[in-house]
Amino acid sequence: MSILQDIKNAVRSRSIHVAYVDVGSCNGCDIEVLACLAPRYDIEQYGIYVHNNPREADILLVIGSVTPQWVDKLRDIWEKIPEPKVAVAIGNCPISGCVYARRGTLTTPPVENYIPIAAQVPGCPPRPTEILNAILSVAPLIYKDYEEKQR
Amino acid sequence: MRSIFYYVREFLRPEWLKKFFFAKTAPLVSPSYFKDYPSLTEKECTACLSCMMICPAPGAIAVLRKKDGWEPEVYPGHCIRCGLCVEACPEGVLASGRILDVARRDKTAFLSWYRLQVDDNLCMRCGNCCVSCPVNREVDPQLAGTGTSASDEVIMRIEGGRVTILHEEKCTGCKTCENNCPNRAIRVARMVEGVQGEEAEA
Ligand code: SF4
Ligand code: SF4
Ligand code: SF4
Ligand code: SF4
């Protein structure tokens, strides 16, 4: 069993599938996630693949301070992701609401109220390296020996 | 035939193979000039609150009372790393990236003042703003109740059933009046002007 687990660990460490969802951001953080895909940072060399299909994803990147229309849809997306899964909050918006957290705001942050968040990447927007580091450091915590931890 | 041989040999060079299979872009570190969250320098904070006043992000910075003096604290998750607090601090308590060096080189600085505005449609002439203002209290200790005052030196007073603003320039931007207004009729706006050259040195 442990050999099988070792194989799974090795494969999973080089195959992290990511979906990202924008639940009402200013697009700043979306651009930074996009920059991760571009050759300068090249997310795929670290074994991270962006599919944007929750059914294939291991990690959900949540971007933006949650607008009321997104509340139930975000939960739907989260439920569609197969176990094991984690959500990472990208930017200040899902953490605190950032500049939108004012009197009379139309957003309803933080995102923690709706789905469990495993890691937060503060910044407005965070650097692509910070996003990459967060994904790379949260993934092994969740996926390493997942089956053995379940028992 | 010979060309194919050279072609294949070219591709079988170990360093080429190594680069092909293990290519990595630059390691994941931020450059030294990156404008990160403001960090503290050795300088002493005078609790003038310029940093809190200029900060555009809600809840990003607070000047806290520590055992030996005051100290600004920046909260990641709220701070947008704009660097305005670094530039606004007259003591140079905060530092981030090259902001201080560039401000010194270009001789730039911020001037700021406050603007008071009363919405006459919302104001019900209770005088709470005039009474609660700490500057008013100091100027005219008699000022109480209705917000009328015999002194011409107060920031604002009720005159003929209306709030009249006399000395806007004395306002320290504490927003006590805003918090004590039951109708949110009075608004304190911070005005900031960026200046360069001789003006900035003054
Ligand atoms: S954290 Fe800043 S850059 Fe990111 S979505 Fe929010 S406002 Fe935009
Ligand atoms: S860098 Fe900008 S957002 Fe952050 S504490 Fe300073 S003024 Fe506020
Ligand atoms: S950090 Fe600078 S601007 Fe902020 S209260 Fe202290 S001295 Fe004033
Ligand atoms: S902001 Fe403070 S100092 Fe200025 S008018 Fe209001 S109470 Fe007075």
* Domains of chain A: residue spans and CATH: 2-145 (3.40.50.12280)
ipTM of the predicted structure? 0.81
Q: How far apart are CA B89 and CA B102, in angstroms?
A: 14
- Give B120-158 pLDDT, tens digit per residue: 888 888 888 888 888 888 888 877 777 787 788 888 888
Ligand nearest to the CA of B48: 3
- Cβ neighbors of A68 (< 8 A, separation 6 or more) are A106, A107, A108
**Assigned architecture for domain B39-106:** 2-Layer Sandwich (3.30)
Put simply, the answer to whether B28 touches A45 (Cβ < 8 Å) is no
- Cβ neighbors of B76 (< 8 A, separation 6 or more) are A122, A123, B37
Put simply, the answer to whether A120 touches B77 (Cβ < 8 Å) is yes
Class of domain B114-191: alpha beta
Chain A positions in Cβ-Cβ contact with residue B58 (cut-off 8 Å): 96-97, 99, 101-102
Nearest ligand 3 atom to the CA of B61 is: 4
Per the listing, tokens 């930017």 go with A91
Q: How far apart are CA B51 and CA B39, in angstroms?
A: 13
Nearest ligand 2 atom to the CA of B51 is: 7
Put simply, the answer to whether A129 touches B79 (Cβ < 8 Å) is no
Ligand nearest to the CA of B66: 3
Instruction: Give, for all 151 residues of chain A, the pLDDT tens digit.
Output: 688 888 888 888 788 889 999 998 889 999 998 888 888 888 888 888 888 888 988 899 999 889 999 999 999 999 999 888 899 999 999 998 888 888 788 888 888 889 999 899 998 889 888 888 888 888 888 877 777 777 7
- Cβ neighbors of B175 (< 8 A, separation 6 or more) are B188
Beta-strand pair B108-118/B186-196: antiparallel
Instruction: Look up the pTM and report it.
Output: 0.78
Chain B positions in Cβ-Cβ contact with residue A101 (cut-off 8 Å): 58-59, 78
Q: Does B78 touch chain A (CB under 8 A)?
A: yes
Q: Which chain A residue's Cα is nearest to B55?
A: A99
Nearest ligand 1 atom to the CA of A63 is: 5
A42 burial class (0-12, 13-18, 19+ CB within 10 angstroms)?
Answer: middle
**Gyration radius (Cα) of chain B, Å:** 28
Cβ of A28 below 6 Å from ligand 1: yes
Residue B118: Cβ within 10 Å count: 19
Helix%, strand%, coil% for chain A, nearest 5: 50, 15, 35
Put simply, the answer to whether B25 touches A42 (Cβ < 8 Å) is yes
CATH 3.30.70.20 domain range(s) in chain B: 114-191
Q: Does B22 touch chain A (CB under 8 A)?
A: no
Q: How far apart are CA B134 and CA B155, in angstroms?
A: 10
- Give B56-104 pLDDT, tens digit per residue: 888 889 999 888 889 999 999 899 999 999 988 888 899 998 888 888 8
Q: How far apart are CA B149 and CA B37, in angstroms?
A: 46
Amino acid at B172: T
Q: How far apart are CA B42 and CA A64, in angstroms?
A: 36
CB A45 within 8 A of CB B23: yes
